[in-house]
């Protein structure tokens, strides 16, 4: 029953219905669509997969893993939050991770725990997810898979609405990326902080340029 209860929490906390406002952010994907870098199923999948392998999503997963292991250490969580924010390439990305992180921590208080007193302010999203999951005894590997899956699904949802690629292509991307997510979760579970590093420059630039778009649907 414990594993089933953990699964329940992950499904709830990382559901689109959980009130963190993740649906309002695109992490620069909107810019890439406007620029026609992303224009079909193939380019959508390539963009998301590159972010998993070489971009900010990989970094977030590594930081989540370290927050999970440091959930009882307020000083360590504060240092991880500072590192996370120092690695955000754009102002909107900074806003995205802090607003969703604080919202996650606030909503998760429905599940009582002493961990909330140890969370930094502001608390980036991956730090909040990692620390709170650990405080409730939820396995790190499962947390990483759920976090990465939910984030990928959110990115696919943006492309379905804006490209648009359609529901069938969106589902095909989700299915194709399942083994990639599992591999990334395994890697990030064991990665050191020194392993953090990205080469997804197009994604970083897209996040920086988003605030200059004439018409914007998403906040980043």
Q: Which residues of 114-143 are buried (b: 16+ CB within 10 A; e: fewer)?
A: ebbebbbebbbbbbbbbbbbbbbebbbebb
Q: What is the largest CA-CA distance in the chain?
A: 51
Asked if residue 19 is part of any domain, the answer here is no
Asked if residue 216 is part of any domain, the answer here is no
What does R_g of the chain's alpha carbons equal in angstroms?
A: 16
Confidence of residue 220 (pLDDT cuts 50, 70, 90): confident
Burial of 182 (0-12, 13-18, 19+ CB in 10 A): middle
Asked if residue 50 is part of any domain, the answer here is yes
Asked if residue 92 is part of any domain, the answer here is yes
For tokens 């997804």, name the residue. 200
Number of domains in the chain: 1
Tell me if 95 sits within 8 A of 28, measured CB to CB: no
CA distance 108 to 134: 13
Lowest-confidence pick of 3-7, 67-71, 105-109, 140-144: 3-7
**Which tens digits make up the pLDDT trace of 109-166?**
999 999 999 999 999 999 999 999 999 999 999 999 999 999 999 999 999 999 999 9
> 8: domain CATH number?
1.10.4190.10
**Total-model pTM:** 0.96
For tokens 């379905």, name the residue. 160
For tokens 């898979």, name the residue. 145
Closest CA to 6 of 180, 165, 145: 145
Domain holding 164, by residue range, is: 2-12+25-211
């Amino acid at each position: 029953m414990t594993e089933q209860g953990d699964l329940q929490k992950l499904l709830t906390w990382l559901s689109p219905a959980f009130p963190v406002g993740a649906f309002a952010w695109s992490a620069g994907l909107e810019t890439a669509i406007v620029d026609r870098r992303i224009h079909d199923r193939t380019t959508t999948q390539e963009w998301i997969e590159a972010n998993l392998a070489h971009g900010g999503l990989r970094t977030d997963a590594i930081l989540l893993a370290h927050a999970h292991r440091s959930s009882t250490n307020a000083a360590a969580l504060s240092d991880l939050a500072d590192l996370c924010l120092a690695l955000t390439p754009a102002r909107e990305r900074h806003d995205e991770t802090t607003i969703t992180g604080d919202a996650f921590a606030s909503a998760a208080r429905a599940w009582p725990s002493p961990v909330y007193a140890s969370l930094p302010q502001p608390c980036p999203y991956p730090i909040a997810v990692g620390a709170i999951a650990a405080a409730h005894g939820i396995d790190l590997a499962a947390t990483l898979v759920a976090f990465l899956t939910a984030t990928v699904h959110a990115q696919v949802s943006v492309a379905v609405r804006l490209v648009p690629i359609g529901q069938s292509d969106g589902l095909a991307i989700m299915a194709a990326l399942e083994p990639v997510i599992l591999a990334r979760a395994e890697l990030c579970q064991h990665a050191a902080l020194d392993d953090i590093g990205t080469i997804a420059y197009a994604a970083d630039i897209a996040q920086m340029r988003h605030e200059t778009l004439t018409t914007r649907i998403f906040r980043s």
